């Protein structure tokens, strides 16, 4: 069986449309994931009862497959609220919650990597614990956690392919539709793999650039 480059070329516009949706889903989910993860990570270091709730959230998300989480959001919640959840919204919620749990652990470890003397010095200067965390600890922690955050972005970009199971036409779903019409899986999946490779390589280069600019670890 001959390899058909022309099929890849003709399918490229549709695949790139799916890739753009993949980038949208990942970018939005990482944004909300960082917000949720930062809050959850700080709560895990707190001394109040909320740390148990944050811990339960992190343990549940990290201990269950993302595919199951997507099914819970898309199929489970509508049964409870008696109202359907659009695929795009379900995908954003599931990916954001999944990302947030991993970011929470990254943030927690980043905060713990800052010497305690930094906090003590900030408090001795009259800053409240909240202001010390906001202006002294978090900025330094975020400089240190840029590499793992970049890795999480790349991991979520690849994992976003799972939302194809709820008929959201991102890159993988677009490829499945084209394969259903052409019966040429090798060419299409190779094209999908190459597009993912380009996206992940680009993100890794951007993360390295930001890391060098901020001189992480100095």
Q: What are the pLDDT digits (tens) for 156-193?
A: 999 999 999 998 999 999 999 999 999 999 999 999 99
| Residues 5-49: tens digit of each pLDDT | 899 999 999 999 999 999 999 999 999 999 999 999 999 998 889
* pTM of the complete model: 0.91
The CA distance from 81 to 92, in Å, is 18
Q: Which of 63, 95, 81, 112 is nearest to 159 (CA)?
A: 95
Question: How many C-beta neighbours within 10 Å does residue 20 have?
Answer: 12
Top-confidence residue, 39 or 135: 39
Using CA atoms, how far residue 215 sits from 45, 150, 180, 210, in Å, is 26, 15, 48, 8
Of 184, 180, 201, nearest to 9 (Cα)?
184
Residue 103, C-beta contacts closer than 8 angstroms, at least 6 positions apart: 33, 34, 36, 37, 38, 40, 41, 149, 152
Q: What does the alpha-carbon distance between residue 139 and residue 129 come to, in Å, rounded to a whole number?
A: 15
Domain that holds residue 171: 5-214
The C-alpha atoms of residue 167 and residue 196 are separated, in whole angstroms, by 19
Residue 193's domain is classified under what CATH number?
1.10.3720.10
Q: What integer pLDDT is reported at residue 124 of this predicted model?
A: 84
Number of domains in the chain: 1
């Amino acid at each position: 069986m001959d390899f058909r480059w022309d099929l890849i070329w003709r399918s490229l516009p549709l695949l790139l449309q799916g890739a753009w949706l993949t980038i949208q889903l990942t970018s939005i989910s990482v944004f909300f994931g960082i917000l949720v993860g930062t809050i959850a990570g700080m709560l895990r270091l707190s001394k109040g009862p909320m740390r148990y709730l944050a811990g339960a959230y992190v343990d549940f998300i990290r201990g269950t497959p993302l595919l199951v989480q997507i099914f819970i959001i898309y199929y489970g919640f509508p049964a409870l609220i008696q109202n359907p959840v659009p695929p795009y919204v379900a995908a954003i919620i599931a990916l954001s919650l999944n990302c947030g749990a991993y970011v929470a652990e990254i943030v927690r470890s980043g905060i713990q990597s800052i010497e305690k003397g930094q906090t003590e010095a900030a408090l001795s200067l009259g800053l409240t614990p909240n202001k010390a965390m906001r202006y002294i600890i978090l900025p330094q922690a975020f400089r240190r956690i840029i590499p793992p955050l970049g890795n999480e972005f790349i991991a979520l970009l690849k994992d976003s392919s799972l939302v194809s199971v709820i008929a959201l036409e991102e890159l993988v779903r677009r490829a499945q539709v084209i394969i259903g019409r052409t019966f040429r899986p090798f060419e299409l999946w190779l094209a999908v793999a190459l597009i993912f490779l380009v996206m992940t390589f680009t993100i890794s280069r951007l993360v390295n650039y930001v890391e060098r600019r901020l001189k992480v670890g100095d």
